[in-house]
Structure 1
């Protein structure tokens, strides 16, 4: 099974549970299922299947010998240590690389002190092309012992707007565990972002989620989770803060298509005197991943997010609370070129609506990538 080969034990178990009621009623088919469970460390399930094979099918000596060998291992999976690495090289176009204001006209003050102004051309939308490189590396261990570790590197260089060149380095750990019928996953990450070749932001984050045991139909799963992030801006400390978030996720998985629905709430607590103070938000995501053909995969997602500040943004100048509503549509397609290389195309359309006009902007991104997976 692909999920087992890639070290995704949780997905492999879900697939085996769905397969159990569909396999042929023969000793060989049941033996294959038992061996797969044993390789995942599910000794109790494997033993129950071995016993069922012996009592129902009167298997030949060859199968009995295989069962004896499997029992001798006590279904203790060997410590796995799999490293998966991918390299992606991208060429793209951004219609609004600098996130320039859609409406160049704005005002400050009120009444007789109201002043009408126009955003300078440098802060209006400017398009540009870019080149990017991404490297992802993940080390996978057995889910019963150890943890996953990963590191990600992102670099983007614009053809003209070099002061907007970005870089990011993220490293983290993930671990899963189970309590009765509840399956948990936790992660801790630390990251660094640069802008224009200078340090921009440092962030640390912890997250945890739980797969809730519910009487949902086969293929459905329900997850709840939460996280806490701490951000520090190198040259803009007034934006430092903590973000606390919680979410739920409902997923429907079928052989060639997977739907996912996410919704959550966020609270951003300012550490210093940030314009607008603390803010609260909500978000929702709908995504679908499917096969267009036997080897071609595609994904589409729609994300809505809203933030509302607690205080007036700049008393005396901008006497309203900042209200930000953004919508992001993304579609991608992955086409295999060889066994390990892929051609990937992606389109993004972003609309950021704000009641403070100078912050509102729109952007369309088109990019083509070559990806190599080790």
Structure 2
């Protein structure tokens, strides 16, 4: 919800409460007591629906509040404003006139109504935002080369050291990255569509150039005080100039009405992803994830923590077979000096395979654990323009030695965001 919408909702809520109390006094005490609680709940749910962009759902709940309390001026004004924002001029004008006749609103509300009339109720343009980022970086291990240059195998009770070929050792390079993302409202019910694009081009190791494109949509729903969001997404990833992987993902995010402080929110997420490898055989899989996330938000501080279980089911006879693991993500962001922003993130992912990786060749079961630590400093240049300096450390251990690797990346970005 924008600052203007937040102030407006507060004004409307105060107006509705004062006029409803006045109407209740004229009608006697019949509407007081426990019966008032459901009315306040419906009105609050309607405001929450409006804040989430679900105008049709908000209209139904505001109307329910009026059905329960005919003198609910706040709900009536909200309906009029929504109708005006949707371009329904005649209905909005009828409701504005009804409010002026029945409630004699204060001057602040009259000014608001007159401003909406002056706009002609032409309808609000669909909300949208996007960003464009270009950056340069240094990558210490572009190819995820093995940390240990030697692979040790047991042969007839003895140990044999096999040196790895040069192509399997870490390779360093610099790169240029271009990324863009855009999202836009698709309906008055809060459904949004989004597009994400990234192109990374290495200076020398061009066989590891990557391009990714994701397209998706998200639709919110509300069941009582439970908020549910469904997301569908399709993705394409290329490597070295040719298509490498296709992805399809479905995700549901549920926000239950827990008794948490206003600055905190808990979400339960469940998702299913189909990964199809174009250039590799026997690596296609379905991945299921369930995750809990707790977030904390203040004007100058944001933090989130999530823990999830991931089950990755091979569609064919993939090396190592099925695998499962846990995923932990921590993120903190806060305002620093002046307008600068600092961000620190950590992720931990484990994978435990059920079978040996390659019988008679690599007689080991993969037990993978990947740590990623990221630190970002954001320096605003002007409105909608910023520089970002990002450092990233990666450590992949507890794995078969030829798959263990470390990496360090440093990247400087310029980012422009839409007004």
Larger relative CO (CA 8 A, sep 6+): 1 or 2? 1
Mapped to 1, the partners of 2:257 and 2:138 lie a distance apart of 44
Deviation at 1:322, TM superposition (A): 0.4
Q: Does 1:291 align with 2:335?
A: yes
Q: Does 1:50 align with 2:74?
A: yes
* Alignment correspondent of 2:306: 262
* Alignment correspondent of 1:136: 181
Deviations 1:263-316 (A, max 9, x none): 000011111111100000101111111111342222111111100001111122
Contact kept in structure 1, 2:190 and 2:220, CA below 8 Å: no
Contact kept in structure 1, 2:176 and 2:200, CA below 8 Å: yes
* Alignment correspondent of 1:154: 198
TM-score by length of 1: 0.83
Deviations 1:63-113 (A, max 9, x none): 4635877999xxx99565123222111100011111111111112354347
SS of match in other structure, 2:143:
coil
Contact kept in structure 2, 1:109 and 1:318, CA below 8 Å: no
Bigger drift between 81-90 and 266-275 goes to 81-90
Mapped to 2, the partners of 1:257 and 1:60 lie a distance apart of 38
SS of match in other structure, 1:86:
strand
* Alignment correspondent of 1:111: 156
Bigger drift between 343-352 and 332-341 goes to 332-341
Rate the CA distance shift 1:294–1:50 in 2: closer, same or farther, 3 A.
farther
Pick the aligned partner of 2:219 from 175, 200, 216: 175
Say which structure is richer in helix. 2
Deviation at 1:115, TM superposition (A): 3.5
Pairwise mapping of residues 191-202 of structure 1 onto structure 2 (< 5 A)?
Answer: 191-202=235-246
Bigger drift between 194-203 and 36-45 goes to 36-45
SS of match in other structure, 2:382:
coil
Rate the CA distance shift 1:49–1:345 in 2: closer, same or farther, 3 A.
farther
* Alignment correspondent of 2:376: 332
Mapped to 1, the partners of 2:275 and 2:328 lie a distance apart of 22
Deviations 1:47-77 (A, max 9, x none): 85738x99xxx987524635877999xxx99
Q: Does 1:316 align with 2:360?
A: yes
Mapped to 2, the partners of 1:77 and 1:183 lie a distance apart of 30
Mapped to 2, the partners of 1:368 and 1:82 lie a distance apart of 30
TM-score by length of 2: 0.75
Contact kept in structure 1, 2:369 and 2:399, CA below 8 Å: no
Rate the CA distance shift 1:288–1:84 in 2: closer, same or farther, 3 A.
same
- Runs of 4+ in structure 1 over 6 Å off: 25-28, 67-72
Rate the CA distance shift 1:86–1:64 in 2: closer, same or farther, 3 A.
closer
Q: Does 1:240 align with 2:238?
A: no
* Alignment correspondent of 1:363: 407
* Alignment correspondent of 1:93: 138
Mapped to 1, the partners of 2:376 and 2:348 lie a distance apart of 18
Bigger drift between 124-133 and 114-123 goes to 114-123
Bigger drift between 289-298 and 238-247 goes to 289-298
Mapped to 2, the partners of 1:371 and 1:190 lie a distance apart of 25
SS of match in other structure, 1:263:
strand
Rate the CA distance shift 1:364–1:77 in 2: closer, same or farther, 3 A.
farther
Mapped to 2, the partners of 1:348 and 1:175 lie a distance apart of 33
Mapped to 1, the partners of 2:8 and 2:257 lie a distance apart of 16
Rate the CA distance shift 1:306–1:61 in 2: closer, same or farther, 3 A.
closer
Structure 2 regions of 5+ residues with no counterpart?
20-43, 78-98
Structure 1 regions of 5+ residues with no counterpart?
7-11
Mapped to 1, the partners of 2:283 and 2:310 lie a distance apart of 16
SS of match in other structure, 2:246:
strand
Contact kept in structure 2, 1:109 and 1:319, CA below 8 Å: no
Rate the CA distance shift 1:215–1:26 in 2: closer, same or farther, 3 A.
closer
Pairwise mapping of residues 269-308 of structure 1 onto structure 2 (< 5 A)?
Answer: 269-308=313-352
Pick the aligned partner of 1:209 from 253, 270, 275: 253
Pick the aligned partner of 2:231 from 173, 187, 194: 187
* Alignment correspondent of 1:9: none
Mapped to 1, the partners of 2:357 and 2:167 lie a distance apart of 23
Contact kept in structure 1, 2:150 and 2:161, CA below 8 Å: yes
Mapped to 1, the partners of 2:387 and 2:368 lie a distance apart of 35
